[in-house]
Amino acid sequence: MGRRVVVIGAGAAGMEAAGQLAKAGCSVTLVEKEEETGGNVRNWYHLFPDHRDSKEVISYLDSRVAHKNLTLITGTTVEDMEQDHGQFILKTGDGMALEADAVVVSTGFDLFRSERKEEYGYGIYDNVISSADLEKMFRKGEVLRHDGEIPRRIGLVHCVGSRDEKVGNPYCSKLCCVTAVKQAMELKKKLNTARVFCFYMDMRMGGALYEELYRESQEKYGINYIRGKVSEVSENFDNRLVVKVEDTLAGRPLKMELDMLVLMAGMEMSESGARLARAAGLKTGENKFFAIADHHFGSNKSELNGIFYAGTCTMPMNITETISHARAAVADVLDYLNTLSG
């Protein structure tokens, strides 16, 4: 059996990295805090840009970790990590001590808790939901208001918890814009007569086929994009939402009644990742994600030899980028293990 590697977190990055390392001959232990693997991908229904069912990605990832060199431990967390003579000892929440020659941290991201944007009333107004809540509705097959009615006018708010200094997140989460475009199109597919409005600051369509998706959403689905931030949400006497927003292109304030408001929650360093960073003394960056060793040449490396990063524990990424980042982490880990062998 080859060198021992512990991978922390079995989302897309962790599963891809663990599978590749096992294939390369390492003895891999993959630790996941939830009972199920798959991370945030499990919470999504269809994925951009091609509307693929997320279950296909989960199946792919499951196939990666089905390897004889790989041991999967679910339902536990890594609480502490120490280094002793080049060996890492990882202590789990349920009292295990895992030994490793190298560690891959792939603790992923948490969705921004939308209730922190108090002015939007998430958790207070029944028909203010998050993008993740809407995905659950899509998976269930019905998009309904809290009172069971079909929504006729739906708003999607971009940049909830992203590019927002007030909540301490000045960075862009990169994926919320395209998520909004995708969800707006899915809403129109499901509720043909509904009117769908997206409230955005800038449309950041930086990924492959994103711009095409954005165009299609306007030309084929008639999604209405309003450039401006929602300032406040309230409820009227009929339990309809009243949304105040500034239309910065028209140069005027708007007040709209909507049946449902969907908040495009941004990505934040996961709580489990932040805990691990504190326990293991790993640096975090200005964006509060794990700080990478070098922006150009070391995006998988930590400041400590033998500890590597994969995926969205370092910055917001889409699934394609996450998997590529995980594969790059594997290359760095194998290089590092070779130096130990030498």
Partner 1 sequence: MKSEGKKKIWADYQKEIADDHFFYVRSCIRQSFFPGSEQFFLHFMRDVLGKDVYENPSHTSCTGIGYHSDIVPLRTIMAVVARHFALMKESGYKNIAISCVTSFGIYTEILETWRHFPRELEQTREDLYKATGREFDIPENVAHTSDIIYKFSNEIAAKAKYPLVNRLTGSPLNVVEHIGCHYAKMFPKHGVGGAEFPRVLSGMIESWGGNVVDYPERRHCCGFGFRQYLVQANRGYSMSNTIKKFASMQPFNPDLVLTNCPGCTMFMDKWQYTAKEMEGTVYGRNGEAIPVLTYEELAGLVMGYNPWDLGLQYHMVQSEPLFRKMGVVFDPADKFRTKDGKQMPSPADLINV
Q: How far is the CB of 123 from partner 1 (least distance, A)?
A: 3
In the complex with partner 1, which residue's Cβ is closer, 144 or 279? 144
| Interatomic CA distance for residues 273 and 283, integer angstroms | 11
In the complex with partner 1, which residue's Cβ is closer, 124 or 250? 124
In the complex with partner 1, which residue's Cβ is closer, 62 or 118? 118
Residues that bind partner 1 (CB under 8 A): 115, 118-119, 121-126, 232, 234-237, 242
Centroid of chain to Cα 84: 33
Smallest Cα–Cα separation from 131: which of 198, 64, 67, 66?
198
Q: How far is the CB of 9 from partner 1 (least distance, A)?
A: 28
Q: How far is the CB of 249 from partner 1 (least distance, A)?
A: 24
Question: H helices of the chain, where?
Answer: 12-23, 54-65, 131-140, 176-190, 210-219, 271-280, 319-341
The first and second tokens of residue 253, run together, are: 């304030």
How many residues can be counted in the chain? 342
In the complex with partner 1, which residue's Cβ is closer, 87 or 234? 234
Question: Residue 187: CB partners within 8 Å, gap ≥ 6?
Answer: 134, 143, 154, 194, 196
Q: How far is the CB of 147 from partner 1 (least distance, A)?
A: 12
In the complex with partner 1, which residue's Cβ is closer, 10 or 128? 128
| Interatomic CA distance for residues 249 and 32, integer angstroms | 46
Q: How far is the CB of 20 from partner 1 (least distance, A)?
A: 42
